[in-house]
């Protein structure tokens, strides 16, 4: 992967030569970190049980370099997941959430699904390597956005109110992850997934006025 | 835990004394195995990361004895899960599946939930320790029963046919497991769980004739 050469930026009180060397080292470190995180996703996607050595090889860095950034596999997986979630936030924050709540929910689920679909292997590895509470914590922003929308839908009568929002949120979460697992094991075509997810969640969440 | 003294049974060509000793050893081994499996469930329920040493202590057997039965933690967890699923089969096979499909589905989900609720800690440990495919395989009987009922419901027009039965099955599975996880982290009262599960699955699976 081609990366830009780090340019020495000033702002230190060291001599120019030392400052430049330090800046180069920082730029190198940043490039290595990015290479390691990208290599983690690739290696894990190929083999969910990829070792730290496999990941270092994939990233094209030595194990010593890798261990200089991440102490163990769990730290590595966590950093890669954080990185992936940060980029996911850039996408999700652009989804228009105004207008009819059920339609906005469909848009948000569709965009979330794209991210779940992309980060499937990484998330599966994280589920094995990290405590469930930590994974939940990392998804806090995405969860807060979905919760806010579900609450608005409940207030406006679009979504049923006989179930707490936490249960609607959990259902959304497990149905999307269930679809992801079905895709992973080849039982569900990823093209069908958004429709299948909506087909469960919308009737389940929509108030039945005529019952 | 009091256990019956093993009685020597014949049927071998060894001398009576040897045969009796062998039978006693077999009975001891069976008792130890049962103690270890029960100890596994107790230890794992108390601490999901309970080690083999913790489990041996809980079972009241030495580590050497434990390793004589199970080579490692994964084998132990798998055996405890198999044992729990076998006892679950005894319960599920008694659920009446005839009559109206949606009502039979509710009965089967309610009984399945009791089992999921009881084996929560063991299943969580299995999900960390065993490959997902193996866990799925162990649930084969339970899954086949649920699939048969969902298929009948689809044939009879009780359940929607615009989604494959595999997706209805997956949804049932993930919603029940999601409820179990919510109970585990204290966000869902186990008393509410059966109603919450039905409240999602029934409207989602029921054909909307008037849409």
Residue A12 has pLDDT above 70, yes or no: no
Is residue B171 within 8 A of residue B201, CB to CB? The reply is: yes
Q: Which of A127, A199, A206 sits opposite B163 (nearest CB)?
A: A199
- Considering only CB atoms, which residues of chain A are within 8 Å of chain B? 127-128, 132-133, 160, 162-163, 166-167, 170-171, 173-175, 177-179, 181-182, 185, 187-188, 196, 199-201, 203-204, 206, 208
Say which residue, B20 or A210, is predicted with more confidence: B20
Is residue A176 within 8 A of residue A197, CB to CB? The reply is: yes
Provide the pLDDT for residue A17.
64
Q: What is the mean pLDDT of residues B66-77?
A: 94
Q: What is the mean pLDDT of residues A10-22?
A: 64
Residue B204 has pLDDT above 90, yes or no: yes
Q: What is the mean pLDDT of residues B53-79?
A: 94
Which residue spans within chain B are E strands per DSSP? none
| CB within 8 Å: B204 and A206 | no
| CB within 8 Å: A170 and B162 | no
Residue B23 has pLDDT above 60, yes or no: yes
Q: Is A189 helix (H, G, I), strand (E, B) or coil?
A: coil
Rounded to whole angstroms, the Cα distance separating A123 from A128 reads 9
- Give A201's contacts in chain B (Cβ within 8 Å): 204
**Which fold is adopted by the domain A80-211?**
Tetracycline Repressor; domain 2 (1.10.357)
Each residue's pLDDT tens digit, A30-61? 999 999 999 999 999 999 889 999 999 999 99
- At residue A184 the predicted structure's pLDDT band, cuts being 50, 70 and 90, is confident
- At residue A16 the predicted structure's pLDDT band, cuts being 50, 70 and 90, is low
Nearest partner of B164 among B205, B107, B209, B199, judged by Cα: B205
Rounded to whole angstroms, the Cα distance separating B30 from B47 reads 25
Of A1-5, A52-56, A58-62, A157-161, the poorest mean pLDDT is in A1-5
Provide the pLDDT for residue B16.
61
Q: What is the ipTM of this complex?
A: 0.80
Q: Is B176 helix (H, G, I), strand (E, B) or coil?
A: helix
| CB within 8 Å: B166 and A187 | yes
Residue A178 has pLDDT above 90, yes or no: yes
Which helix (H) or strand (E) segment is B76 a member of?
A: helix B73-92
Q: What is the mean pLDDT of residues B125-151?
A: 92
Retrieve residue A192's tokens: 């069908």
- The CA distance from B171 to the nearest CA of chain A, in Å, is 6
- The CA distance from B38 to the nearest CA of chain A, in Å, is 25
CATH of domain B74-211: 1.10.357.10
Rounded to whole angstroms, the Cα distance separating A16 from A11 reads 10
Residue of A nearest to B125 (CA): A128
Q: Is B150 helix (H, G, I), strand (E, B) or coil?
A: helix
Residue B101 has pLDDT above 50, yes or no: yes
Say which residue, A189 or B5, is predicted with more confidence: A189
């Amino acid at each position: 992967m081609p990366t830009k050469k780090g340019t020495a930026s000033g702002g230190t009180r060291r001599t120019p030569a030392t400052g430049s060397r330090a800046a180069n080292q920082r730029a190198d470190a940043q490039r290595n970190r990015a290479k390691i995180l990208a290599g983690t996703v690739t290696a894990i996607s190929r083999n969910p049980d990829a070792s730290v050595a496999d990941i270092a090889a994939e990233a094209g860095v030595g194990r010593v370099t890798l261990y200089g950034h991440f102490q163990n596999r769990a730290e590595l997986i966590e950093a890669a997941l954080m990185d992936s979630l940060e980029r996911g936030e850039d996408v999700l924050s652009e989804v228009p959430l105004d207008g009819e709540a059920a339609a906005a929910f469909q848009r948000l689920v569709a965009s979330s699904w794209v991210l779940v679909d992309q980060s499937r292997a990484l998330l599966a590895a994280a589920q094995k390597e990290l405590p469930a509470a930590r994974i939940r914590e990392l998804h806090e922003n995405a969860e807060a956005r979905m919760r806010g929308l579900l609450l608005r839908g409940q207030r406006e009568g679009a979504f049923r109110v006989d179930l707490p929002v936490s249960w609607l949120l959990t259902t959304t979460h497990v149905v999307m992850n269930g679809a992801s697992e079905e895709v992973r094991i080849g039982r569900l075509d990823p093209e069908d997934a958004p429709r299948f997810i909506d087909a469960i969640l919308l009737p389940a969440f929509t108030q039945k006025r005529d019952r």
